[in-house]
A and B are shown apart, each in its own frame.
With several copies, the nearest count.
Chain A
Amino acid sequence: MTPSAVASPDWQRIRSDFPVLRREIDGRPIVYLDSANTSQKPESVIDAMASFMREGYAPINRSAYRLAAAATDAYEGARSKVARFINAARPEEVVFTRNATEALNMVAQSWGRKNLRPGDAVVLSHMEHHANIVPWQMLVDQIGIELRFIPLTDDGLLDLDGLSALLDGARVLSVTAMSNVLGTINPVERLVAAGRAADCMVMIDACQSVPHGITDVQAWGADFVAFSGHKMLGPSGIGVLWGSSEQLELLPPFLGGGNMIDDVRLDGFTCAPVPAKFEAGTPAIVEAVGLGAAVDYLESVGMANIRRHEMGLTRYAIDSLRARYGDDVVIHGTDNVELRGGVLSIAFRDIHPHDLSQVLDESNVCVRAGHHCAKPLMRLLGANATVRASLYLYNDRSDVDALVEGLDGASDIFGL
Chain B
Amino acid sequence: MPGLEDLYREIILDHYKNPRNRGELPEPAISVEGHNPLCGDEITLYLDVADDVVRDVKVSGQGCSISQSSASMMTQAVIGRSVTEVRAVIRRFKSMMAIEEDGLEATDAEISLGDLEALQGVVKFPVRIKCATLSWNTLIQALDEAG
Using a CB–CB distance below 8 Å, which chain A residues touch chain B? 25-26, 61-62, 64, 66, 68-69, 72-73, 261-263, 272, 352-355, 358-359, 362, 369-371, 375, 378, 383-385, 413-415
Contacts and interface: CB of A to CB of B under 8 A. Distances in A.
Interface in B1-15: 1, 4, 7-8, 13
11 contacts: A64-B127, A69-B127, A263-B37, A272-B37, A352-B63, A353-B64, A358-B7, A370-B38, A371-B39, A383-B40, A384-B39
Given A69-B126, A262-B35, A384 B40 contact: yes
B126 A370 contact: no
Interface in B22-72: 35, 37-42, 62-68
A370 B37 CA distance: 8
B131 A354 contact: yes
Contacts of B65: 352, 354-355, 414
A369 B127 CA distance: 12
B81 interface: no
Nearest to B5: A413
Contacts of B40: 353, 370-371, 375, 378, 383-385
B134 to A, nearest CB: 11
Nearest to A61: B38
Interface of B: 1, 4, 7-8, 13, 35, 37-42, 62-68, 125-128, 131
Contacts of B128: 64, 354, 358
Nearest to A69: B127
Contacts of B8: 355, 413-414
Nearest to A409: B4
A73 B131 CA distance: 17
A26 B1 contact: yes
Contact of A64 (B1, B39, B63): B39
Nearest to A369: B39
A358 B39 contact: no
Contacts of A370: 38-40
Q: Give the 8 A-B residue pairs with the shortest CB-CB distance, closest first.
A: A371-B40, A354-B64, A385-B40, A352-B64, A384-B40, A354-B39, A64-B127, A370-B39
Contacts of B42: 263, 384
Contacts of A261: 37
Contacts of A378: 40
B44 to A, nearest CB: 13
Contacts of A262: 35, 37
A131 B37 CA distance: 15
Contact of A358 (B13, B35, B41, B125): B125
